[in-house]
């Protein structure tokens, strides 16, 4: 049975993540918000620390392990497992309490790494270990419909030749490799969509531009073209067979892993806003009393209590989706519910905190306005609010994507 308290075994990792967020990320947050596209060199030291902990085994669960299907996993004593996925979402939430853009810039922690963890076989997982991988899905004109991908991958002997264009690739310029979604045969629809690991510097792969953005400015967001770009056939993640009955469930399993992570980012950013806003309200003489009904308190306190309740719901959904992944339970529904809830309330909370803080919240003297800008992307990438609601409806009603559009 799931227990949605923070597991005791992960508390040390989470405490360490909070210390990093407070002492390393917060102090440089505004610096790299203003210096968009400048690489945060301070992160190299942090990445080295994480690598050292990984080598020593002290950071169990610092990176998501994927959502591979199979039998339920149990510890030796028969209890269900609190593993890497749950540890990841909780530690990521703490890191985003510090700065979301800097978390997205952390070497070897890209969304492509979660794709590899979810889809790669054992040999690929070992071969790509330690690689910093971005993920390239979105294309001009495709929007949130991942099934309409036009980038092609044509097999030529022991290689695949990739042609197409990808946009909004987080860490697309800095990462060691990009996990590219492409179709093997457009006539077969979504079933032919596969993902490929394309190392940085591969001939035919070109970063065309870096985007200027509303938020997460510390993170580079690239547009990348692929022109007769050749990659080894062994870099196709998972199986090359096209199963028209399964559709592209294999590739979509990636989202079952990354959506709880994005929910964790929203939970962390919203928590930062709530913590600071409570302090600012207290300084203004507004005390939030948890022992009294909201309707008997000031409007500001009542609004704050409502936002905290929304935040708690988002956190619990995030933990449930990650816990299910750790225990090899299908979590597509829960992953989308967590992403939808956290993405929406994260944006609502950060903007609500700006409103409650008034001119202090709107100015650059505090980080509230920055967190409001950063949080919006967390409701958009990895599937928009509308897409998540559509997926949830399909899962609950038992309908396919062709039956419910």
**DSSP letter string, 250-315:** HHHHHHHHHHHHHHHHHHHHHHHHHHHHHHHHHHTT----TTS-GGGS-HHHHHHHHHHHHHHHHH
Instruction: Based on the fold, state whether residues 348 and 275 are members of the same structural domain.
Output: yes
Token pair listed for 352: 């609500």
Instruction: Note whether residue 45 is domain-resident.
Output: yes
Active-site residues, by number, are 382
> Do residues 149 and 193 make contact, with C-beta atoms less than 8 angstroms apart?
yes
Instruction: Note whether residue 191 is domain-resident.
Output: yes
Instruction: Based on the fold, state whether residues 143 and 118 are members of the same structural domain.
Output: no
Grade residue 385 by pLDDT with cuts at 50, 70 and 90.
Answer: very high
Say which residue the tokens 């709530």 belong to. Answer: 274
Instruction: Based on the fold, state whether residues 114 and 140 are members of the same structural domain.
Output: no
Domain of 25: which CATH number? 1.10.540.10
Token pair listed for 71: 């039998």
Instruction: Note whether residue 366 is domain-resident.
Output: yes
Instruction: Based on the fold, state whether residues 162 and 208 are members of the same structural domain.
Output: yes
Up-side HSE of residue 35: CA atoms within 13 Å toward CB? Answer: 10
Instruction: Based on the fold, state whether residues 393 and 293 are members of the same structural domain.
Output: yes
pLDDT in tens, 278-331: 999 999 999 999 999 999 999 999 999 999 999 999 999 999 999 998 888 999
Instruction: Note whether residue 2 is domain-resident.
Output: no
Q: Quick check: 73 pLDDT over 70?
A: no
pLDDT in tens, 213-236: 999 999 999 999 999 999 999 999
Instruction: Note whether residue 1 is domain-resident.
Output: no
pLDDT in tens, 155-186: 999 999 999 999 999 999 999 999 999 999 98
Exposure b/e, 189-210, CB count within 10 A at least 16 = b? bbbbbbbbbbbbebeebebeee
> Do residues 188 and 243 make contact, with C-beta atoms less than 8 angstroms apart?
no
Domain endpoint, select from 201, 235, 269: 235
Alpha-carbon gap, residue 323 to 87, rounded angstroms: 9
pLDDT average, residue stretch 19-38: 96
pLDDT average, residue stretch 72-96: 77
**The model's pTM:** 0.92
**Using CB atoms within 10 A of its CB, is residue 2 exposed (0-12), middle (13-18) or buried (19+)?**
middle
Range of the domain at 318: 249-397
Q: Based on the structure, what is the number of domains in the chain?
A: 3
Instruction: Based on the fold, state whether residues 118 and 16 are members of the same structural domain.
Output: yes
Instruction: Based on the fold, state whether residues 113 and 176 are members of the same structural domain.
Output: no
Instruction: Note whether residue 56 is domain-resident.
Output: yes
CB atoms inside a 10 Å sphere around CB 356: 24
Domain endpoint, select from 74, 94, 126: 126
Instruction: Based on the fold, state whether residues 374 and 342 are members of the same structural domain.
Output: yes
Q: What pLDDT was estimated at residue 247?
A: 52
Domain endpoint, select from 126, 161, 191: 126
Domain of 302: which CATH number? 1.20.140.10
Instruction: Based on the fold, state whether residues 204 and 263 are members of the same structural domain.
Output: no
pLDDT in tens, 102-131: 999 999 888 898 888 888 899 999 999 989
> Do residues 171 and 105 make contact, with C-beta atoms less than 8 angstroms apart?
yes
């Amino acid at each position: 049975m799931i227990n949605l308290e923070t597991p005791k075994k992960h508390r040390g990792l989470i405490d360490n993540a909070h210390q990093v967020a407070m002492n390393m990320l917060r102090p440089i947050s505004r610096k790299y918000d203003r210096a968009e596209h400048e690489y945060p060199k301070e992160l190299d030291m942090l990445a080295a620390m994480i690598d050292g902990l990984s080598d020593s085994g002290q950071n169990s669960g610092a990176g998501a392990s994927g959502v591979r299907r199979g039998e339920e996993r149990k510890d030796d004593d028969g209890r269900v497992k609190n593993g890497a996925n749950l540890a990841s979402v909780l530690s990521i939430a703490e890191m985003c309490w510090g700065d979301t853009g800097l978390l997205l810039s952390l070497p070897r922690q890209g969304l492509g790494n979660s794709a590899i963890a979810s889809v790669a076989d054992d040999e690929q997982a070992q071969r790509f270990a330690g690689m910093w991988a971005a993920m390239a899905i979105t294309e001009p004109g495709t929007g949130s419909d991942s099934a309409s991908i036009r980038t092609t991958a044509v097999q030529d002997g022991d290689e695949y030749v990739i042609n197409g264009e990808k946009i909004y690739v987080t860490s697309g310029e800095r990462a060691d490799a990009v996990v590219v979604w492409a179709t093997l045969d457009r006539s077969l629809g979504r079933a032919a969509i596969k993902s490929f690991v394309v190392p940085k510097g591969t001939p035919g792969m070109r970063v065309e531009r870096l985007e200027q953005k509303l938020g997460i400015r510390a993170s580079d967001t690239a547009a990348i073209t692929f022109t007769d770009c050749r990659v080894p056939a062994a870099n196709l993640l998972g199986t090359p067979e096209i199963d028209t009955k399964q559709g592209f469930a294999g590739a979509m399993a990636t989202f079952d892993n990354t959506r709880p992570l994005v929910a964790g980012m929203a939970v962390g950013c919203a928590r930062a806003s709530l913590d600071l806003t409570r302090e600012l309200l207290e300084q203004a003489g507004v005390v939030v009393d948890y022992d009294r009904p909201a309707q008997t308190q000031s409007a500001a306190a009542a609004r704050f209590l409502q936002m905290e309740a929304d935040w708690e719901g988002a956190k619990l959904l995030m933990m449930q989706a990650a816990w299910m992944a750790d225990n090899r339970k299908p979590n597509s529904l829960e992953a989308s519910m967590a992403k939808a809830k956290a993405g929406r309330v994260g944006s609502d909370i950060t903007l609500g905190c700006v409103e409650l803080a008034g001119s202090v919240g709107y100015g650059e003297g505090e980080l509230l306005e920055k967190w409001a800008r950063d949080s919006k992307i967390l409701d958009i990438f990895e599937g928009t609010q509308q897409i998540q609601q559509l997926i949830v409806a399909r899962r609950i009603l038992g309908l396919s994507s062709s039956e419910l559009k």
